[in-house]
C-alpha cells in the first residue's frame, strides 16, 4: 500500500442522511437547515465543524423546494467554509454522481480537495404548507441559482414530444416499458409479472432502510394490482411503480483524496475508494433514439469505470441502479449486461417509489448507503448509476472496499466515442402516411379513465409523436395490437391535424 500515491486516489470519507417526518410545516427544517444537518453528520467522525471549515468546495444539488439564488454560497457561510468554491448544480438524477466525478477529477489532478456534495428536498412540507395556506419563513430571495452546468432550456424534451403531451417522466418512462417488453419477447402479462418481481426486490430494500419515506413491504402482486390506493397513472404503471417526489429528505457526502482522509483520522477500511468513474449523454431526445430499450452511453460509462478500476462486471458485488421507474432499472441492467435472474442487489437504497425521490438528490443517498455497506463488509465493489431526464444523462461510479493498486484516472474522449457511434433519427413534426409504432403509453385521469394513447412512430425512416384514435387506443390497452400484444410494431396511418398528429390502425 505504501507505494501508491494516496494523494491521487479519490475516496468518499463521510456521509450523512436525514428523513424528516414532521406534520407541522412550521416545525420542519428548511432545505438549507437540512443540508447543514447532513453536512455535520458527514463530518461528525472527521473533526466535525473544524473539518467543514476547511472545505475547498461546497457543491449543492439543485433543490426544487428552495427558492434561493445562491444556496451553495449561503450554506458555505453557515458552515464557516469561507474560502470554499460554492456552486449549485443543474437538474437531473445523474447530478450527485456527476458532482462526485468532478471531485474525483480534482483528486486525480493532484489538488487534494475537500468537497462537500449535499442536497435537500422538503417538497412534502411545501405541499402541506400550501394546503394549509401557510407561508413558510424559509431563507432565500425567491430566485433560482446560476447552475453548474447550466440548466438545459428544453429539459430533454423535443418540441414535437411536448406538443403531443409526451413531456412528463410518468409518460416517458412508461412509454419505454413497451419497447422493453417487445425487445424481451414478452406478452404484456408476462412482462408485468417480471416488472413486479423486479420492483418487489427494490421494495424489500426500502422496507428495512430507516431513511425510506415508505418503509412498507409490499408483494409483487400488490405493486401492480390497480385499486383505490394504487390507481393507474400511465399504462402499464400504477402509482406504486412511480417515483414519489413529495418527500422531506437530505443527504451529503464528503469527497477527498485518501491521504487527506487518513490525516482526518479515517482508517483505510472507513472510506469508499472511487476506483473508476465516467459520465456521458445519450442522444438527447427520446424520440430520436434508434433503440429506446438500450443506453449506449451507459454501456460505455460502465466499461470506462470498470476499466479504470481493473475490474470486470463479475467482480461487482452490488449495484445501485437509478430506479425512478421500472424501465430505468431495466435499461441500465440490460445495457450493463446483467442477467434478469442475477441475484446481486440492484439497489442498496430502495428505489424512488419506495425510498422516496428527493428531486435530483436521490443518488447522494445511494452513495451514502454504498459507503455504509462497504464499511460493514456487506459489499466489496459497487456500481452506482445516476440517470438524468429521460435516460438521457448518465453518471457512473465504481466504489470499492479495497484500495486500488494504482491511482485511477478519468476516461478520455468518452463522450466523443458515444457521439461517434450515435445516429439520431430526424423528427418530422407533421408527417402523413403509413408508419409503425415504436413505443407507446396511455395516461389515465385520476378517476381511472384512460386518455388517448401517445406513441412514438416511425414514418419512412423518420420519427414523430402522435395521439391514437379511440379504436387504436382501445386495441393497445386491451393487448390486441402489435408484437406479442405489446402494441410495438403496429402498422398505423399518420395524419396531421390542427390538434396534432393522429394515428389509426391500418
CATH value at residue 409: 3.40.47.10
Q: Are residues 365 and 398 in the same domain?
A: yes
Share of the chain above pLDDT 70, in %: 100
Burial of 409 (0-12, 13-18, 19+ CB in 10 A): middle
pLDDT digits (tens, 9 = 90+) for 478-506: 988 888 999 999 999 999 999 999 999 99
Phi, psi (5° rounding) for residue 499? -95, 0
Q: Decide if 200 is inside a domain.
A: no
State whether 458 and 349 are in the same domain: no
Mark whether 272 and 325 lie in a shared domain.
Answer: yes
Per-residue confidence (pLDDT) for residue 481, from 0 to 100: 84
Cell matching residue 376 = 460493514
Give the sheet arrangement for strand 147-148, strand by strand.
Answer: 147-148, 85-89, 57-60, 114-122, 248-257, 10-19, 272-281, 393-400, 381-388, 318-320
pTM (predicted TM-score)? 0.98
Please give the sequence-ordered ranges of beta strands (E in DSSP) within 199-245, or none if there are none: 232-234, 237-238
> Is residue 68 located within the same domain as residue 142?
yes
Nearest to 370 by CA among 205, 201, 198: 205
Helix axes 188-207, 326-336, angle to 10 degrees: 100
Q: Find cell 494516496 and name the residue.
A: 6
- Is the same domain home to 64 and 132? yes
| 375 and 439 fall within a common domain | no
Grid cell 449506449 in the structure block, residue: 296
Q: Establish if 173 belongs to a structural domain.
A: no
Mapped to the 3 state alphabet, what secondary structure does 433-497 carry?
A: EEEEEEEEECEECCCCCECCCEEEEEECCEEEEEEECHHHHHHHHCCCCCHHHCCCCCEEEEEEE
- 402 & 295 share domain: yes
* Whether residues 365 and 250 fall in one domain: yes
**Is 468 within a domain?**
yes
Q: Does residue 444 form part of some domain? A: yes
| Rounded CA separation 289/66 (Å) | 34
Structural contact between residues 100 and 274, judged by C-beta atoms closer than 8 angstroms: yes
Residues 450 and 474 in one domain: yes
On whether residue 199 sits in a domain, the answer given is no
Residue with cell 445519450: 282
Q: How far is CA 24 from CA 64, 88, 99, 127, 139, in A?
A: 20, 28, 33, 12, 18
Average pLDDT, the chain: 97
Asked if residue 111 lies in contact with residue 37, where contact means CB atoms within 8 angstroms, the answer is no
CATH of the domain at 469: 2.40.50.840
d(CA 6, CA 108): 10
Contact 473, 444 (CB under 8 A): no
In a domain, 21, yes or no: yes
Q: What is the pLDDT of residues 401-421, one digit of tens each?
A: 999 999 999 999 999 999 999
For 485, the domain range is 433-505
The DSSP secondary-structure symbol of 307 reads H
Structural element, H or E, at residue 95? helix 95-108
- H or E stretch including 501? strand 500-505
Q: What's the pLDDT score for residue 482?
A: 86
Task: State which of 396, 421, 446 marks the end of a domain.
Answer: 421
What pLDDT score was predicted for residue 182?
Answer: 97
350 and 499 in a single domain? The answer is: no
Give the number of other Cβ atoms within 10 Å of residue 495's Cβ: 15
DSSP 344: S
Same domain, 398 and 486: no
Q: Count how many domains the chain has.
A: 2
Asked whether the beta carbons of 450 and 478 are under 8 A apart, the reply is: no
Specify whether the CB–CB gap between 93 and 363 falls below 8 A: yes
**Angle at which helices 414-421 and 296-309 pack, to 10 degrees?**
150
Residues 34, 136 within the same domain: yes
Q: Does residue 177 fall inside a structural domain?
A: no
- The residue out of 387, 421, 455 marking a domain boundary is 421
Which residues of the chain, if any, have pLDDT below 50? 1
Question: What pLDDT is recorded for position 2?
Answer: 58
What letter would DSSP give residue 62? P
> Does the residue 202 lie in any domain?
no
* Cβ atoms 241, 223 nearer than 8 A: yes
Domain's final residue, options 359, 392, 421: 421
Nearest to 492 by CA among 443, 458, 442: 458
**CA-CA distance, 127 to 115, in Å (whole number)?**
32
Amino acid at each position: 500500500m505504501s507505494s501508491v500515491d494516496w494523494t491521487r486516489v479519490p475516496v468518499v470519507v463521510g456521509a450523512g442522511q436525514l428523513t424528516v417526518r414532521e406534520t407541522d410545516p412550521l416545525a420542519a427544517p428548511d432545505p438549507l437547515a437540512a443540508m447543514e444537518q447532513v453536512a455535520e453528520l458527514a463530518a461528525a467522525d472527521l473533526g466535525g465543524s473544524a473539518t467543514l471549515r476547511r472545505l475547498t468546495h461546497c457543491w449543492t444539488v439543485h433543490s426544487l423546494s428552495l427558492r434561493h439564488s445562491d444556496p451553495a454560497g449561503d450554506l458555505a457561510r453557515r458552515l464557516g467554509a469561507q474560502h470554499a468554491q460554492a456552486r449549485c448544480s443543474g437538474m437531473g438524477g445523474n447530478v450527485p454522481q456527476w458532482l462526485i466525478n468532478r471531485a474525483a477529477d480534482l483528486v486525480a489532478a493532484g489538488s487534494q480537495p475537500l468537497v462537500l456534495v449535499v442536497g435537500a428536498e422538503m417538497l412534502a412540507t411545501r405541499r402541506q404548507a400550501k394546503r394549509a395556506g401557510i407561508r413558510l419563513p424559509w431563507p432565500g430571495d425567491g430566485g433560482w441559482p446560476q447552475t453548474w452546468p447550466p440548466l438545459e432550456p428544453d429539459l430533454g424534451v423535443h418540441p414535437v414530444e411536448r406538443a403531443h403531451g409526451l413531456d412528463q417522466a410518468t409518460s416517458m418512462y412508461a412509454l419505454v416499458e413497451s419497447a422493453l417488453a417487445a425487445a424481451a419477447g414478452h406478452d404484456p402479462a408476462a412482462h408485468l409479472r417480471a416488472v413486479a418481481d423486479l420492483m418487489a426486490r427494490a421494495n424489500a430494500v426500502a422496507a428495512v432502510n430507516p431513511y425510506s419515506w415508505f418503509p412498507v413491504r409490499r408483494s409483487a402482486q400488490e405493486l401492480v394490482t390497480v385499486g383505490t390506493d394504487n390507481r393507474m397513472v400511465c399504462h402499464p404503471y400504477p402509482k406504486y411503480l412511480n417515483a414519489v417526489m413529495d418527500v422531506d429528505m437530505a443527504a451529503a457526502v464528503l469527497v477527498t483524496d485518501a491521504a487527506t482522509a487518513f490525516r482526518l483520522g479515517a482508517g483505510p477500511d472507513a472510506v469508499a475508494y472511487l476506483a473508476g468513474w465516467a459520465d456521458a449523454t445519450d442522444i438527447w431526445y427520446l424520440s430520436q433514439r434508434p433503440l429506446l430499450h438500450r443506453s449506449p452511453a451507459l454501456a460505455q460509462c460502465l466499461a470506462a469505470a470498470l476499466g479504470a478500476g481493473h475490474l470486470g462486471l463479475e467482480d461487482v458485488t452490488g449495484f445501485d441502479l437509478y430506479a425512478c421507474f421500472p424501465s430505468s432499472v431495466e435499461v441500465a441492467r440490460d445495457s450493463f449486461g446483467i442477467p434478469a435472474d442475477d441475484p446481486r442487489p440492484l439497489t442498496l437504497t430502495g428505489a424512488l417509489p419506495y425510498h422516496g425521490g428527493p428531486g435530483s438528490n436521490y443518488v447522494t443517498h445511494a452513495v451514502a448507503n454504498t459507503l455504509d455497506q462497504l464499511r460493514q463488509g456487506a459489499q466489496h465493489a459497487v456500481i452506482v448509476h445516476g440517470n438524468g431526464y429521460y435516460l438521457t444523462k448518465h453518471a457512473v461510479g465504481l466504489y470499492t472496499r479495497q484500495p486500488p493498486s494504482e491511482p485511477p484516472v478519468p476516461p478520455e474522449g468518452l463522450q466523443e466515442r458515444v457521439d461517434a457511434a450515435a445516429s439520431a433519427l430526424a423528427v418530422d413534426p407533421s408527417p402523413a402516411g403509413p408508419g409503425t409504432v415504436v413505443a407507446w403509453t396511455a395516461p389515465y385521469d385520476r378517476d381511472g379513465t384512460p386518455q388517448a394513447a401517445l406513441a412514438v412512430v416511425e414514418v419512412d425512416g423518420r420519427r414523430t409523436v402522435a395521439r391514437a384514435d379511440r379504436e387504436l387506443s382501445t386495441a393497445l390497452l386491451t393487448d390486441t395490437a402489435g408484437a406479442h400484444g405489446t402494441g410495438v410494431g403496429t402498422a398505423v396511418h399518420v395524419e396531421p391535424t390542427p390538434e396534432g398528429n393522429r394515428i389509426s390502425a391500418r
